[in-house]
Each structure stands twice: as structure tokens, then as C-alpha cells.
């Protein structure tokens, strides 16, 4: 079934819109059908499934590596002999739940943004390159609703990608390491149930940390008809901005770069919660989403699609 036929099938049962005074009326069922079609199209692609598979494999590799190292009598980085490894790694052998936090910390700077960049960058440009975009625009939903459906599908992928990492890490952590009470960064102890709730909250925060990047990728996708070029540009921008965020001489602009507060989710493992940087992160993502979402809308609604 083709991309356009899929949309038509989803809304076949919708009542026919009744135009009024030359305006085009859109049934709510059309909008829901369009969103459903975008979600089905996105998650049916082998590329999407491959990205989710790679993300889910990262916690497996981390867990196995730590299990092998500790079983040989070694110590994980960050302990007295480890020399300062990534955050949370030292706690994994005592509590497998920490593999969730370690995996999210490991994938958020690189793997998750790259996966989101691929999906967002291909959202519009991929359709244009395949020649299906002009057919989608013939449908009564219009350009604005089509763009919103694509952005919503990208946000769903952000959540799915984050959950793929978190769920995989939780399963591997439970399989390879003991589970029990969680020692917070503040040194206090909380129950495993409380720790699990915090893990879910942290996963949602990580997913929300990607909404600004999703809007940026969608904007880039409206600038070209080449899906590969849009994906490469989006991923390249992620790498460039993260490099800028590590240069001390540019500290003045660091708080305005979208990845700057990404790892602030660690503050949710304090007792009590430390919300300042988390809220700064969410606010910054909202600003990026508004700015680049508006830019994507302005570009897409004025885009000449003749091929």
C-alpha cells in the first residue's frame, strides 16, 4: 500500500467535508487519520526499527562490559581504582536500576540526538525526494496540519527512542545485577519503587529534552528536497553545537545552546529534587521548539512544491 493510499484508507470512514464560502473544511477524523498515517509510516520503516534496535543495544553492551569487568576482579571507573568514569557507573554493580540512568547519560549526548536528527531531517525532505509530498498536499488537511502531524510523529519517536533505552537498561540491569533500595546522589536511601518512579520521570525528561532538536530538524527538512542532505545537516548541527558547548571561551553562549542542560536529569536523583537546571532545560527546549517550529511553518507554507 502506498503512502498516499495509507492516508486515504485511514480516513475512508470520515464524513465528507462541506466547504463553506470557498473555504475548505477539514473533518477532525481527517486530522486523526493523517497523524495515524504518519505514525504508521514512521515506525514501519526499517530505518526507524534499526535505530531503535541500536539504541536498545547500548545498555546491553554497557551492562555486559561492566559485568565482565567486575567478575574479573576489576573496578568500574569512578571508584578508588577506576579513575573517574561516567556518572552512575559505579553504582550499577550494587543496583541494576542505575543501568537505566547510566544508559540514558551515555546515549543522550550522541546516539539519541543522531537518531532524532535522522527522523526529523527526513520528515519533509524525504517525502519531497520520493515525490509523494505533492500528493499529500492535495488532501484537505492542508500544509499546517501535515507539518503538525509530522512534528507530532517525530515527538512520538523521541519518546519511543528514550523508552527503548530505558526499558532495555532496566531488563538488562535486573538480569545481570541485584535490585534494591536506591542510594541518591545526596547520600540518602529511597525504596526501589521510589527509584523506579524517578527512572520513569527521568526518561520523560530526557524525551522532552529532544523536542527542540526535533523542531530544528523539521525546519532543516523544509529547506531541501534531499532527505539525506537534511539528515546529514541536522546531525552535523548537533555535533557542531555540542563542540561549541565544550569550548570554555564561549561560556557566555553555553546556556543558550540546546544541549547545555541535557544531563540536568541527574538532579532528579537528589533528595529532595533539584529542579532549577531541569526547568531551564525544559524552558530552553520550548523556546527552540517555538522558534524553529515557526520557521518550519513559515518555510513550508510558502514552499513551492511542483515536483
In the chain, what are the domain boundaries? Answer: 27-72+83-302
Question: Which long-range contacts (C-beta less than 8 Å, at least 24 apart) are formed by 83-91?
Answer: 87/263, 87/266, 88/266, 91/183
Tens-binned pLDDT, residue by residue, of the chain (307 aa): 455 445 444 444 444 444 443 344 555 545 677 788 888 888 988 999 999 999 999 999 999 998 888 766 555 554 434 333 445 777 888 888 999 999 999 999 989 999 999 999 888 887 777 666 666 666 555 788 888 989 999 999 999 999 999 999 999 999 998 888 888 888 888 889 998 999 999 999 999 999 999 999 999 998 888 888 988 999 999 999 999 999 999 999 999 999 999 999 988 888 888 899 999 999 999 999 999 999 999 988 877 565 4
Beta bridge pairs of residue 190: 182
Buried-exposed string 171-204: b where 16+ CB fall within 10 A, e elsewhere: bbbeebbeeeebbbeeeeebeeeebeebbeebbe
Helices 111-130 and 98-107 pack at an angle, to 10 degrees, of 50
Q: In a 3-state reduction of DSSP, which class is residue 14? A: coil
Nearest to 85 by CA among 74, 93, 76, 94: 76
The per-residue pLDDT for 141 is 58
Q: Could you give the CA distance from residue 295 to residue 221 in angstroms, rounded to a whole number?
A: 11
Q: Could you give the CA distance from residue 11 to residue 138 in angstroms, rounded to a whole number?
A: 14
Amino acid at each position: 500500500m502506498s503512502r498516499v493510499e495509507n492516508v486515504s484508507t485511514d480516513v475512508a470512514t470520515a464524513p465528507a467535508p462541506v466547504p463553506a464560502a470557498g473555504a475548505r473544511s477539514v473533518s477532525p477524523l481527517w486530522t486523526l487519520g493523517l497523524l495515524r498515517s504518519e505514525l504508521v509510516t514512521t515506525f514501519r520503516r526499517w530505518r526507524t526499527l534499526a535505530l531503535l534496535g541500536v539504541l536498545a543495544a547500548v545498555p546491553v553492551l554497557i551492562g555486559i562490559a561492566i559485568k565482565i569487568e567486575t567478575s574479573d576482579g576489576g573496578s568500574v571507573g569512578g571508584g578508588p581504582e577506576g579513575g573517574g568514569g561516567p556518572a552512575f557507573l559505579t553504582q550499577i554493580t550494587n543496583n541494576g536500576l542505575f543501568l537505566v540512568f547510566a544508559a540514558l547519560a551515555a546515549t543522550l549526548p550522541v546516539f539519541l540526538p543522531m537518531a532524532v536528527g535522522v527522523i526529523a531531517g527526513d520528515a519533509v525532505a524525504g517525502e519531497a525526494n520520493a515525490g509523494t509530498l505533492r500528493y499529500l498536499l492535495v488532501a484537505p488537511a492542508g500544509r499546517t496540519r501535515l507539518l503538525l502531524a509530522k512534528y507530532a510523529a517525530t515527538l512520538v519517536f523521541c519518546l519511543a527512542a528514550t523508552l527503548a533505552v530505558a526499558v532495555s537498561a532496566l531488563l538488562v540491569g535486573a538480569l545481570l545485577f541485584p535490585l534494591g533500595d536506591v542510594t541518591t546522589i545526596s547520600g540518602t536511601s529511597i525504596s526501589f519503587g521510589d527509584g523506579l518512579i524517578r527512572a520513569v520521570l527521568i526518561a520523560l525528561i530526557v524525551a522532552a529534552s529532544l523536542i527542540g532538536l526535533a523542531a530544528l530538524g523539521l525546519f532543516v527538512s523544509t529547506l531541501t528536497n534531499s532527505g539525506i542532505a537534511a539528515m546529514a545537516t541536522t546531525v552535523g548541527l548537533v555535533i557542531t553545537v555540542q563542540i561549541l558547548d565544550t569550548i570554555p571561551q564561549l561560556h557566555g553562549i553555553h546556556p543558550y545552546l540546546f544541549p547545555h542542560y541535557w544531563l540536568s536529569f541527574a538532579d532528579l536523583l537528589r533528595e529532595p529534587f533539584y529542579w532549577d537546571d531541569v526547568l531551564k532545560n525544559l524552558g530552553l527546549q520550548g523556546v527552540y521548539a517555538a522558534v524553529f517550529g515557526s520557521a518550519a511553518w513559515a518555510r513550508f507554507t510558502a514552499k513551492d512544491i511542483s515536483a
